[in-house]
Structure 1
């Protein structure tokens, strides 16, 4: 792979190292990251590059840029697969201000992108995407019930799905009610977000940001996913409160945003990911890992429900003043 990197880019990589979900290498003060194309369309690549270039122009110097190969193209064939190489200079001068503030700065920069986004656009689509995902999984669940499951994962899935179906329906209804009862404010415009943000996402490999991980969506997406990951990595409630306070010091959330964020917390994304992941892989080791994770999700469902039921109280949000309703059964 190192030899093919040299033949494609003329770069001498001493060694490849794991950088989050990617592989990459350092040359002096630059980090290079190999991003597999995974069938992305040209239109999507164009949007990814435009968003990355825009965020750099807005002052975010930790965003990677596309590196052309020796033939002047961005896509290279390495070990029979299509890759794009991206790079970023090492910048260690600016003081880190905490994850909440850093995410808010990131969202603030992304809010002023003026070109139309189509391939990466997710704003206003949560309800439709969740309904589609739920319908697909429900049909699969029904087929498993009819065929009488006999292995441990099938039985776990069949027995647990009705509860998570109900939780998903509540998340969808919460979005419907939000759109009926409230109006988006200036904060609620689309911005650059991550496909799946998590605790310490911005700390990975020296806080380098790879636009291939981005979508264009409501900022509540990233905030909710940070809280979800904080919950499942056993962070204290004080850490969640601090993160939210840090964020709001830069960009105060609207009542509409709080509602959308809570709807996303209600949606059991973690459950869907483990079930869908299990049935989409062949490797027995990976299947076993998915089963252990799903069992943990099912075992902790009561604790998770208590967290959701007490979330607004925990962060001391004045829901009466903001006219935000609780989900009564939680």
Structure 2
């Protein structure tokens, strides 16, 4: 790898170390990360490069940037895999006391991005993406039912899927109703979001804002995913701090009725369940027990997750007075 980096970039790497999940090296008091990018096509990488350049110009702290090869390419190939080298900002010690406020400011800056995006675009596409995912999993589930579930994971999946199918259908209907009932406001325009924003995305010990984790979407994506992650990672903290994260965000850039309802529809859609099933079947044999444990947790916490969703809608009606988030009938009984 060192030899390839020298050939492609003219950079002489002394030693490689691990930084979080990534291989990294240190040069001129700066960290560089080696990011696998085989799953991102070239046009999308170029869009991510443009977005990161824009955020650097906006003086957003902790933004990392792509290093171009000697031939001005975004990535290099080795052993049939693609990698990009990302340069971290020289100052990486994060101070995130109020992550809600930080996220709101980040979104606010990125909303002024003046160019068209196509490859990273997710705004307005949730319904299509959710339906596609649901159809795929439903036909897979039918196959499993037909073949008789073989192991513990398959039994859990086969028995629980109808419930999560119902939840997903509710989320899609909720999304459709929101788009019919509410008028989007300026705050509802597209911004830079993350595939899955959570409490470790902007790691305070070594804060790196990685463009390879970004998509262009509605800000409610990050808010909902942060709260979902908090629910599974630290239930108690969610009770204490989950809604204060929301309040910090709302105080910094006030959310519209459209945003509040979009957050709820995204929390309703059980992406955590879908990803657990997909990851299990895509994983190597030795990793399967991990996803079995995760599935166990998800199912064990399903009624608590329902009460978290009820808590969100009642918190909203108390907090905003003006926004009534319609509840899902069967959930409130």
Provide the TM-score with structure 1 as the length reference.
0.93
Q: Distance in 2 between matches of 1:16 and 1:239?
A: 38
Match status 1:144 vs 2:115: no
Deviations 1:266-287 (A, max 9, x none): 1111100010111112x22211
Mapping of residues 126-145 of structure 1, within 5 Å: 126-145=126-145
Q: Does 1:211 align with 2:211?
A: yes
- 2:287 maps to 286
Counterpart for residue 268 of structure 1? 270
Check if 1:298 corresponds to 2:299: yes
Cα pair 2:317 2:325 within 8 Å, conserved? no
Instruction: Describe the shift of the 1:214–1:135 C-alpha distance in structure 2 as closer, same or farther (beyond 3 A).
Output: same
| 1:230 positional shift | 0.8
List runs of 5+ in structure 2 lacking aligned partners.
Answer: none
Paired residue total: 329
SS of 1:329's equivalent in the other structure is helix
Give distance in 2, aligned partners of 1:236 and 1:116. Answer: 36
Q: Does 1:162 align with 2:130?
A: no
In structure 2, the partner of 1:180 is 180
In structure 1, the residue matched to 2:38 is 38
Q: Is the 8 A contact 1:237 1:314 kept in 2?
A: no
Is 1:77 equivalent to 2:77 in the alignment? yes
2:203 counterpart SS class:
helix
Moved more, 267-276 or 230-239: 230-239
Unaligned 5+ runs, structure 1: none
CA positional deviation for 1:190: 0.5
Structure 1 position 325 matched with structure 2 position 326: yes
How far residue 211 of structure 1 moved from its aligned partner, in angstroms, is 0.7
Once the two structures are superposed, residues 150-206 of structure 1 have per-residue CA deviations (whole angstroms, 9 ceiling, x without a partner) of 222111110010011011011111101111111111110000000111113112662
Q: CA deviation at 1:220?
A: 0.2
For structure 1, which segment, 70-79 or 132-141, has the greater mean C-alpha deviation from structure 2 after superposition? Answer: 70-79
Residue 313 (structure 1) shift: 2.7
Cross-structure match for 1:105: 105
Give the conservation status (yes or no) of the 8 Å contact 2:317–2:323: no
Equivalent residues of 1:34, 1:86 under 8 A apart:
yes
Structure 1 pair 154–29 and aligned structure 2 pair: CA distance change class (3 A): same
Secondary structure at the counterpart of residue 285 of structure 1: helix
Partner of 1:256: 258
Q: In terms of mean alpha carbon deviation, does 36-45 or 125-134 score higher?
A: 36-45
Q: Name the counterpart of 2:233.
A: 233
Compute the displacement of 1:86 (Å). Answer: 1.4
Cα distance in 2 between the residues matched to 1:179 and 1:315: 18
| Alpha-carbon RMSD | 2.0
Cα separation, 1, equivalents of 2:205 and 2:43: 28
TM-score, scaled to structure 2: 0.92
Which of 241, 244, 264 is the equivalent residue of 1:242?
244
CA contact (8 A) 1:64 1:88 kept: yes
Q: Is the 8 A contact 2:94 2:203 kept in 1?
A: no
Query: Aligned partners of 2:96, 2:156: CA distance in 1, in Å?
Result: 43
2: CA distance, partners of 1:276 / 1:265: 19
- Measured after TM superposition, the shift of residue 2 of structure 1 is 3.1
SS of the residue aligned with 2:202? helix
Partner of residue 68, structure 1 = 68
